[in-house]
Amino acid sequence: MIADTVVADQAPASTRNWAGTHLIADPARLARPRTLEELRTLVRSRSGPIRILGARLSCPDLLDARPVLAVDLTGLSGVTAWSPARVTAWAGTTLATLNAALGRRGQRVDASPPVIATQTIAGAIATGTHGQGLRQSTIGDAVTALWVMDGAGDIRKVTEDDPDIGGYSMHLGALGVVVKVELRTVPNQTYVCERTCVDADDLVSAFTMAAADSEFAKAWWFPADRVAHIWRLRPATAAEARLHLGGPGTATPLGARDSSINYVVDGLVRKLSTDTRTAAGGRPQFLTVERFRDFHDSVGDAHGILCKGIPVPQINCEIGIPLASMDAAHAELSRWYEEHAPRMHYPFILRATGPSRAWMSPAYDEPTLHYGTVVYLPERGPCAQDAMDALDDVQSILARHDGVPHLGKYFNPQVFGLVARPSVQRFTALRDRLSTRHWLPSDYLDSILIHSPAEGGHGGQPDQVRGRRGGGAH
């Protein structure tokens, strides 16, 4: 049995995704339980299927609960237990709440922070949310136990030695209602983040070295300007740590400012302003680019340095390829960029992670390089079609390098043909064995897991896939 006490706020549930761009729930069929008992009663007395919602940051297709009862789990929030290297929290606790509680105890979750922390723990695990660093993988890989409610309202504890932990570590909301999670924690160290710029021709070697040598490393590749910006984090010396003036979750600037890529920032701001039909200024999408202006090193904890995303309505797409394929994939992406000069709003974001045990993760079983791209949405009207075409091209190219998409983000299922992957088949078999499809149905998941052989072979040519699917903004 687990204790039936939760820290619940009274906020009403929303019928829209986080950005407000998509209706994902019918207002007449939306519940927000505030205790475990309320949730159990709801599951036991339901007259049909349900869909669980966390912070609603994922691709709207994954979340769309309009045909069924939407159950918002953000009311089940709060830390419930501590031990020296473990923390237990309700599934609807946001990463920000968890991080703050851990930070006060000098701890953090044993996984790299993603770029934002408004996700719920269960939602982040569900979609394989990850940060960067070869010595760790997804947040789900830090799970030591989950408590999962079945369709009869009964709860089962799944531990890390369970043979199905690879399924639960990235559960896609398809294996039951996750009500509580126990995660491994580590001491919250202070790091120095060294920031540099390299010529695009040197990106592969510079990034590979940074990823191998540092606890956390990431890069932004600006193909139009043929430069890349690299962050690498190393533990701070005692003297450097004393220069950190803030507490947990903050970072302090260090050293001189570098203006060498300010011209790149100017160019991107102009392009973004035209494409999103928005005057340049303090709007969030411009701030995401302005961060590269006058860059400098910093000292702080992992969250303070890495969790710096600025949530802006966007189409967010990320494909993981085996890290060993980076050289070939990068060469092909570079050629494609030179030939097509595609419209892109943002640099490619490169993050490498270690192998994941999660069957559905792009990083399953091997070190993986995640290529991220973003198309920002205009204030009014549809997304520029050529920006969407560029997104489709990138997916096709990376699919040819054994790419697998981040399933919480936008992607074109027909490019990847996930059905053929043995690890996906294993997940589908577990879903069938648990018989969850009748009470947690998802046509979207079925279309990816059961009905999506790749069209035109594994990863078609760019022109073969263009325009096949509209933009599901999230």
Ligand X SMILES: Cc1cc2nc3c(=O)[nH]c(=O)nc-3n(C[C@H](O)[C@H](O)[C@H](O)COP(=O)(O)OP(=O)(O)OC[C@H]3O[C@@H](n4cnc5c(N)ncnc54)[C@H](O)[C@@H]3O)c2cc1C
Residue placing its CB nearer to ligand X in the complex, 102 or 254:
102
Which of 33, 60, 103, 123 contacts ligand X by CB under 6 A?
123
User: Which residues have a Cβ under 8 Å from the Cβ of 228 and sit 6 or more positions away?
Assistant: 197, 198, 199, 200, 202, 203, 206, 207, 219, 220, 221, 222, 347
Q: Are 176 and 85 in contact (CB under 8 A)?
A: no
| Residue nearest to ligand X according to CB distances in the complex | 123
Residue placing its CB nearer to ligand X in the complex, 76 or 236:
76
Position 58 contacts ligand X (CB under 6 A): yes
Position 124 contacts ligand X (CB under 6 A): yes
User: Which residues have a Cβ under 8 Å from the Cβ of 163 and sit 6 or more positions away?
Assistant: none
Q: Are 180 and 40 in contact (CB under 8 A)?
A: no
Which 263-322 positions form the footprint of ligand X (CB under 6 A)? 309, 311, 316
- Tokens encoding 408: 């919480």
Which of 127, 214, 414, 452 contacts ligand X by CB under 6 A?
127
Amino acid at 237: T
Position 122 contacts ligand X (CB under 6 A): yes
Rounded to a whole number of angstroms, the minimum distance from the CB of residue 263 to ligand X is 27
d(CA 109, CA 469): 37
Residue placing its CB nearer to ligand X in the complex, 127 or 136:
127
Stretch that binds ligand X, among 112-120, 189-197, 271-279, 454-462 (CB under 6 A): 112-120
Q: Are 154 and 114 in contact (CB under 8 A)?
A: no
Q: Are 407 and 450 in contact (CB under 8 A)?
A: no
Rounded to a whole number of angstroms, the minimum distance from the CB of residue 234 to ligand X is 21
Residue placing its CB nearer to ligand X in the complex, 102 or 126:
126
Stretch that binds ligand X, among 113-121, 361-369, 431-439, 450-458 (CB under 6 A): 113-121
Residue placing its CB nearer to ligand X in the complex, 73 or 418:
73
d(CA 29, CA 321): 39
Position 167 contacts ligand X (CB under 6 A): no
Position 25 contacts ligand X (CB under 6 A): no
Position 97 contacts ligand X (CB under 6 A): no
Position 55 contacts ligand X (CB under 6 A): yes
Which of 14, 99, 120, 188 contacts ligand X by CB under 6 A?
120
Residue placing its CB nearer to ligand X in the complex, 111 or 204:
111
Which string of b and e fits 160-198 if b means at least 16 CB within 10 Å? beeebbbbbbbbbbbbbbbbbbbbebeebebbbbbbbbb
Position 133 contacts ligand X (CB under 6 A): no
Phi, psi of 198 (to 5 degrees): -135, 160
Amino acid at 270: R
CA atoms within 13 A on the CB side of 84: 0
Q: Residue 259 class from Cβ within 10 Å (0-12 exposed, 13-18 middle, 19+ buried)?
A: exposed
Residue placing its CB nearer to ligand X in the complex, 73 or 193:
73
Tell me the number of residues near ligand X by CB under 6 A: 35
Which of 102, 109, 111, 172 contacts ligand X by CB under 6 A?
172
3-state DSSP assignment of residue 414: helix
Position 73 contacts ligand X (CB under 6 A): yes
Contact residues for ligand X, defined by CB under 6 A: 51-58, 62-63, 73, 91, 114-116, 119-120, 122-124, 126-127, 129-130, 172-173, 177-178, 309, 311, 316, 406, 408-409, 474
